[in-house]
A and B are shown apart, each in its own frame.
Chain A
């Protein structure tokens, strides 16, 4: 709408900061919604703080997994401006790879088989890490293949062509995986490379023994929660280091800033893009394994919704920003967990997307996003 404030920017006068008329109505509406949400949360926090904390922990677990996926989305979008819908399915492949490695090949037991003298604990740790690394490697190979076959030929085509291709690849992975000779169209109960141990907190931390119930009103958490927490935070720091300090990270940032200039500066843009896909896929693979262990049931369309939520998280935090993806993912996790317990389970997606829309309306580039420059 061509109003007076925009005219004044054209003639380079300092824009007059005049308050828009009736702005209080919209702000009041938002405040009302926020107050309602705060009321629900505080009421439940007072009513039963233990259950509230338990929900926060569940949300944290979910959010940390989303963070691992969101990294791939935000980096790829930051560099090639492509919503890589196949990323969620790479996550799924990570889960399935570890499942097959564990259930068919007993890969998690290799240290014990080769070196029977090794202590059992160490064997489990080494075996599990091997399984996770294998999944990551497979995901990296898959992502690089997808990038070479499906996206690279379309780099100069209209953006929508690449997006349609991404959707196509996503369909292909989901349904190819559902064929009988590949995986299975059914839900499969996941076989974890290590046993899940849970604890409850009541005057100290006690392990939960199978067959014995836990006392009421306690907070429980499991080792997989701790692993997800540690892995997600570690990956954050690793990527910060990679992007800020290493040569390839600088090349990534340069490419995302201006592709053609980066090429002029001697950066191999194609390799940087492949590398970005690979890094994103590696952490999606890690996320896939951890997600499968934590939620213990997998199928070939496993990746769709977490992938979508992770992308929303990346947008929420400001696409292209690594801390943004992390914070966005945590918000998404909390929103989902708290909505499920305090509003209604089916409305969790509605609430997540409403938060996204509200945040984008207030800050159009996301929480950590840099203000979009005027495009020539």
Chain B
């Protein structure tokens, strides 16, 4: 039984990696219908595997499906971190904090909605929109004068965002009765309490959660990104710890009694389906690919390679760092939101900074600067740690979780000693590979990030 499970886990891991390869290969076809077919097939294969079962033996049991959903949300976090660290060279440990923020924000919105109250959606939605507008406005105003110190700029942004939040609080609560009129109350749910409306709210919540995480990361990143690399890393670690502290005290320091502080938030509607997870994953892949291949993305890459040279070429380094940090946090927020609605329960202990090393490990394991690597590594990592080791050690009784974390570092150590540049290095597959135009110009002495890091250290 155990051996069979082990074998099937390995097969599933390999099949999912092959699935990623197929998806990326298909998306790279020229014609639109080929791409569309790929997407439909990629969706259908997994959905089919979910449904398929031979008597007692389910091809993708509930446990495996859980692993897959975890892998998808982890992939978003990891790809986001890869944008920040792999492509822009900013060593960030805050990713887990943004993941947690996304999870809690989205969960709060749908929690209120499903208990018959639209205020969460309205306040968060209006807050995110107004916050974004405020940031854009202040940014435009600050551009009028050159050389404003970062701390002053931060102060302006902070005031603007806090003001926007206050307005959103007022507006959101004022609008609740209007929406509630169509939506009905808990006792008499109107049309808006239907399953379709719930899905719409869920998708809105995911986007809002991502945007919220992005705005927080903008405010935090603005001053902190001016620090040197390792100092930045420590400051971001601090951010992750502070976020977790706030989660533990969400019902005392923060005014969210429904989050129940350290006891954990329960009753989150489990709305994540394979369709939503897949669509978001696809959008994330396309978004990141287009970002990396754009001129802005190349500027981001050049900042990683050599800041002085990049500045000499007229690249705004501060802006480039901030942009990739915000984008990465946005992806983390989305991943968190999807995870929250898959698992249905959130506890601050999930977001401890210790667990926050996991995305970093995945990104390094997959290869810094390889999105394919992050995707594949997320799948491999989840199936190894949560599937493989958990089942392998299932017989050890109460000590199994401990043994898991004894074997895991050993595997990590061996991997790092044998392949310090990660499994895939900077290799990309299909859709994510360099586009056709660039492929003809063979880079004469392009350096891998590993080589550059070696030089710098």
Contact = CB atoms under 8 A, between A and B. Distances in A.
Interface of A: 1-3, 5, 20-30, 81, 83, 150, 153-154, 156-161, 164-165, 167-172, 174-176, 178-180, 185, 304, 308, 311-312, 315, 319, 344, 346-347, 349-350, 352-354, 356-357, 360-361, 364-365, 372, 375
B224 interface: yes
Task: Please report whether the interface of chain A is mostly helix, strand, loop or mixed according to DSSP.
Answer: helix
B286 interface: no
A349 B148 contact: no
Given A156-B454, A159-B457, A375-B456, A353 B406 contact: no
B9 to A, nearest CB: 22
Interface of B: 91, 145-156, 158, 223-224, 226-228, 230-231, 233-235, 237-239, 241-242, 245-246, 248-249, 253, 311, 314, 316-318, 354, 357, 360-361, 364, 368, 399, 402-403, 405-406, 408-410, 412-413, 416-417, 420-421, 449-450, 453-454, 456-457
Contacts of A154: 416-417, 420
Given A26-B150, A361-B223, A361-B226, A353 B361 contact: no
A179 B410 CA distance: 15
Nearest to B153: A26
A167 B456 CA distance: 22
A317 to B, nearest CB: 13
Contact of A23 (B152, B246, B399): B152
Residue from B224, B357, B368, B408 with most neighbouring chain A CB atoms (10 Å): B357
A25 to B, nearest CB: 4
A3 B146 contact: yes
A245 B253 CA distance: 51
Residue from A178, A354, A365 with most neighbouring chain B CB atoms (10 Å): A178
A305 to B, nearest CB: 9
A375 B457 CA distance: 11
A160 B453 contact: yes
B239 A353 contact: yes
Nearest to B151: A26
Contacts of B316: 1
Complex A-B, nearest 3 residue pairs according to Cβ-Cβ distance, in ascending order: A26-B151, A353-B238, A161-B420
A20 B148 contact: yes
A30 B151 CA distance: 9
Given A160-B453, A349-B242, A360 B149 contact: no
Given A25-B152, A346-B253, A356-B235, A165 B242 contact: no
B245 A346 contact: yes
14 contacts: A5-B147, A20-B148, A26-B149, A28-B155, A157-B454, A159-B453, A161-B364, A161-B416, A172-B405, A308-B237, A312-B234, A353-B238, A354-B238, A361-B151
A22 B364 contact: no
Contact of B155 (A29, A172, A357): A29
A350 B409 contact: no
Contacts of B153: 26
Contact of A167 (B91, B146, B357, B420): B357
Contacts of A185: 402
Given A349-B245, A353-B238, A361-B151, A171 B405 contact: yes
A175 B354 CA distance: 13
A180 B151 contact: no
Given A161-B420, A171-B409, A304 B354 contact: yes
Contacts of A29: 151-152, 154-155, 158
A83 B357 CA distance: 13
B399 A179 contact: yes
Contacts of B360: 164, 167
Given A361-B151, A361-B227, A364-B231, A179 B354 contact: no
Contact of A81 (B145, B246, B457): B457
